[in-house]
């Protein structure tokens, strides 16, 4: 059964005239007649009742087949439209893996709003995770793109593209009653004997390494961690309830506003870069549109 045969039949059924149907379709009448005859032969039924050249009627089988044939053509048109939209980036499905600190930025939230407004047929599935897990997701192709920090497992993979997105500022979070809570900026030398809570190196090696280097270079003391937490939210909750201090991306301040004091580091802004990672062969039109909007909002 050929698609052209179904189109011939539906058009003939709608016009009830083979010559008009052929003209409407831009084919010769003999071609249309042969197509419908071949379709009837394949189905083993007569779709039309032909009393004479001028009187054409649908058979009962033809009436039953017409409704299904119309539906099939309509579905095919929708499928064709979807395929064209996906090919030009107007539709699609993207799985985006990202750090919690990136998801909380105004730039990322603006990106989601603009994607919804400009490309409503591109479905965005957001997965929040840590750097190590995101690297694993990229390697297993479980996400189309990851917004994450440096990870040695994917850094030197030739077929994975990496693009710097923004520099994630590092700040110190302290209990409201802490002696440094009202300082304009915190000198790391003043944290030498503090109880430090942070995320473990195994899940966020780039952030952990940055904190360790800051303690050595600016604080002049080796990093001594009192508690390690699987994520920044847990570290912040422990800081709030048990005391101590923690280093976190500045974007987390919004969720704990009024509950903790967030202060920049003295001696200049400290930050950890966040990158975009994706497989070169998965750079789809939908991903291209997403990255264009994303990088525009992050100032790239």
How many percent of the chain have pLDDT more than 70?
96
- pLDDT beyond 80 at 90: no
**CB distance 47 to 62 below 8 Å:** yes
Q: What is the pLDDT of residues 120-152, one digit of tens each?
A: 989 999 999 999 999 999 999 999 999 999 999
Token pair of 206, please? 């780039």
Report the mean per-residue pLDDT for the chain.
91
Contacts of 151 (CB under 8 A, 6+ apart): 131, 132, 134, 135, 205, 206
- pLDDT beyond 90 at 235: yes
**Calpha distance 205→189 (Å, rounded):** 23
Neighbours of 9 (CB within 10 A): 24
Q: Residue 258 — left, alpha, or beta (φ > 0 → left; ψ -120 to 50 → alpha)? A: left
**CB distance 129 to 295 below 8 Å:** no
Q: Beta strand pairing status for 225-228 and 145-148?
A: unpaired
- pLDDT at position 51: 73
Q: What is the pLDDT of residues 183-220, one digit of tens each?
A: 999 999 999 999 999 999 988 899 999 999 999 999 99
**Calpha distance 294→86 (Å, rounded):** 19
**Calpha distance 50→216 (Å, rounded):** 94
């Amino acid at each position: 059964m050929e698609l052209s045969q179904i189109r011939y039949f539906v058009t003939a059924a709608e016009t009830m005239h083979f010559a008009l149907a052929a003209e409407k379709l831009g084919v010769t009448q003999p071609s249309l007649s042969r197509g419908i005859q071949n379709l009837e032969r394949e189905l083993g039924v007569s779709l039309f009742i032909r009393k004479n050249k001028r009187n054409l009627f649908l058979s009962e089988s033809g009436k039953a087949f017409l409704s299904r044939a119309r539906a099939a053509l309509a579905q095919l048109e929708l499928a064709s439209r979807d395929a064209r939209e996906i090919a030009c980036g107007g539709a699609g499905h993207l799985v985006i893996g990202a750090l919690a600190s990136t998801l909380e930025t105004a730039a990322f939230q603006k990106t989601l709003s603009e994607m919804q407004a400009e490309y409503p047929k591109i479905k965005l599935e957001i997965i929040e995770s840590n750097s190590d897990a995101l690297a694993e997701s990229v390697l297993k192709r479980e996400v189309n793109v990851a917004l994450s920090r440096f990870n040695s497992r994917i850094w030197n993979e030739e077929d994975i593209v990496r693009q710097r997105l923004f520099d994630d500022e590092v700040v110190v979070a302290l209990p409201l009653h802490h002696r440094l809570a009202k300082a304009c900026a915190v000198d790391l030398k003043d944290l030498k004997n503090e109880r430090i809570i942070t995320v473990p190196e195994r899940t966020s090696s780039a952030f952990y390494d940055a904190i360790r280097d800051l303690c050595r270079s600016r604080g002049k003391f080796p990093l001594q961690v009192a508690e390690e937490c699987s994520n920044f939210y847990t570290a912040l909750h422990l800081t709030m309830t048990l005391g101590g201090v923690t280093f976190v991306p500045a974007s987390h301040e919004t969720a704990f506003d009024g509950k903790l004091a967030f202060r920049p580091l003295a001696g200049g802004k400290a930050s950890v870069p966040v990158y975009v990672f994706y497989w070169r062969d998965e750079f789809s039109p939908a991903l291209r549109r997403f990255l264009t909007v994303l990088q525009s909002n992050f100032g790239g």
